[in-house]
Structure 1
Amino acid sequence: MTDLGWDCVRPGAPEAGSPAAQIVITAEDFAELPIEAPVAHAGPDRGWLPVNMVNVLYTEADIQELETELLGTPVRIRAVPVEFHWDLGDGNTITTTDPGKPFPSERISSEYRFEGWYDITLTTTFTGQFSVDGGEWQDIEGSIEIESDPVELFAKSLESRLVNGSTTDDEEDEDEEEPWIPERTPDTEGPIDPEAHHRRV
């Protein structure tokens, strides 16, 4: 086990018969823990979606537990994900206590009104608890926020096309091709939505 530098409260040298040193995990200690950022998922795996199409957001955020030993005493710490803040990159944001689910669920979702590249960023809020030598869990004051790696997504304006009425569905599928997606440059960045707002779901 590794001593990660958490504080110990030792009220002077204990006298005979006095209680053992008290171990306390502070908010500052909690902020220094190596908590892993949840992986953010957005839109289809192909990396683009049509403008005005539902963009499904979700993450798999589990409780994380760490173990160490302080003053010869085993200590367990756990970080509990309690809130998820999504920044869609176009000025729109969503805050929720729900991690969401993959498509076809649309529990946490959004859409883009304009074409362009966007970064979708997830920030997860964790609260903490600690247990000393198998004892009851105690709350750690405060919370921490951890930002996940952004997801790059291109919103594509698709033009409708005429369909040959004599063509079968199978033939149409064979003829379909992925639309051209431009490289990401300053000129292909998506604009800020003038009607952007924050939602809490």
Structure 2
Amino acid sequence: MNDCGGDVPLQPMWAHQRASLDTDVWGPWYQVDAGGCPADVLPVFTAEDFRRLPLAPPTLHVQPDRGWVLVNKETIVTTERTEQTFRTELLGHGIDVVATPDTFTYDFGDGSQDLVTQSPGHSYPDHDTFHVYDELGAVQIALTTTWKGRYRIDGTTQWRDVVGTAETSATSAPFTVEERRSHLVSGLCTDIPTPEDCDGQDGG
């Protein structure tokens, strides 16, 4: 028996044909192929096929999420490492495909070097994916996720790796990098009327 790496070997295929459409006389049997391992006769799910799947980009989370962040303070980014499964066909064969996030690339929108990581990140105070802005202004963060894939063709038991990757993109809402200063005041800046020493301040 052939060693097909866990797949069930395919038996040789035979066929025969009627001599003509208006007769029940059949011709002799003839061998169509010699059988063998599924990997030798089944189609390959290529990187191009993989990239045509409707991969949903992971959600990009920014912390703090309030429309602005502080200059010279850590801005935290996180996402999810969630597999996606698909059912598709290739040349008449049913195929199961599993896509797995491999790397996450963050462009922080300020001209700094991209952050490339395999970690989906964690929220404060256990954060490991973050950026410190050193200039004021309006920015937007872009996340590019690189996906690896594996597939299994109906009638086989072995999962095969897709040779190549796919990418998805997500962006945050625009926000500003700001500088905030605090000072002592005689009362709460939320008081009515507002104390004179709170003029132009956002809080007490």
Give the alignment's TM-score, normalised by structure 2.
0.69
Instruction: Tell me how far 1:173 sits from its aligned partner.
Output: 7.5
Structure 2 counterparts to residues 1-201 of structure 1, below 5 A = 15-16=31-32, 18-19=34-35, 21-70=41-90, 73-92=93-112, 93-133=114-154, 135-164=157-186, 167=187, 171=188, 179=202
| Contact 2:45-2:90 at 8 Å conserved across structures | no
**CA offsets per residue over residues 77-100 of structure 1, 9 Å max, x none?**
111101000000011221101010
Residue 160 (structure 1) shift: 2.8
Where 1:30 maps in the other structure, the secondary structure is helix
Question: Which letter does structure 2 place at the counterpart of 1:111?
Answer: V
> Does the residue aligned with 1:84 lie in a helix, a strand or coil?
strand
1:84–1:99 CA contact under 8 A, matched in 2: yes
Q: Gapped runs of 5+ residues in structure 1?
A: 1-12, 180-201
- What CA distance in whole angstroms lies between the structure 1 residues aligned with 2:168 and 2:134? 28
- Higher RCO (Cα < 8 Å, 6 or more apart): 1
Q: How far did 1:71 drift?
A: 5.2
Partner of 1:10: none
Query: Identical aligned pairs, as a percentage?
Result: 32
Separation (CA, whole Å) in 2 of partners of 1:107 and 1:29: 34
Q: Is the 8 A contact 1:73 1:132 kept in 2?
A: yes
TM-score where L is the length of structure 1: 0.70
**One-letter amino acid matched to 2:137:** G
Closer, same or farther: CA 178–50 of 1 in aligned 2, 3 Å: farther
Residue type of the alignment partner of 1:145? E
* Distance verdict in 2 for CA 1:99–1:30, change over 3 Å: same
Q: Structure 2, unaligned stretches of length 5 or more?
A: 1-13, 16-30
Distance 1:28 1:69, change over 3 A: closer
Distance 2:201 2:99 in 1: 42
What secondary structure does 1:29 align onto?
Answer: helix
From the superposition, tell whether residues 172 and 103 of structure 1 become closer, same or farther in structure 2 (CA, over 3 Å). farther
Question: Does the aligned pair in 2 maintain the 1:120–1:153 contact within 8 Å?
Answer: no
Counterparts of 1:79 and 1:163, CA distance in 2:
56
Q: Deviations over 1:126-160 (max 9, x none)?
A: 11110112622100101122111334221111123
Larger radius of gyration: 2
- Per the TM alignment, residue 75 of structure 1 is displaced from its structure 2 partner at its CA by 1.0
Contact 1:118 1:153 in 2 (8 A): yes
Partner in structure 1 of residue 27 of structure 2: none
Count matched residues.
Answer: 163
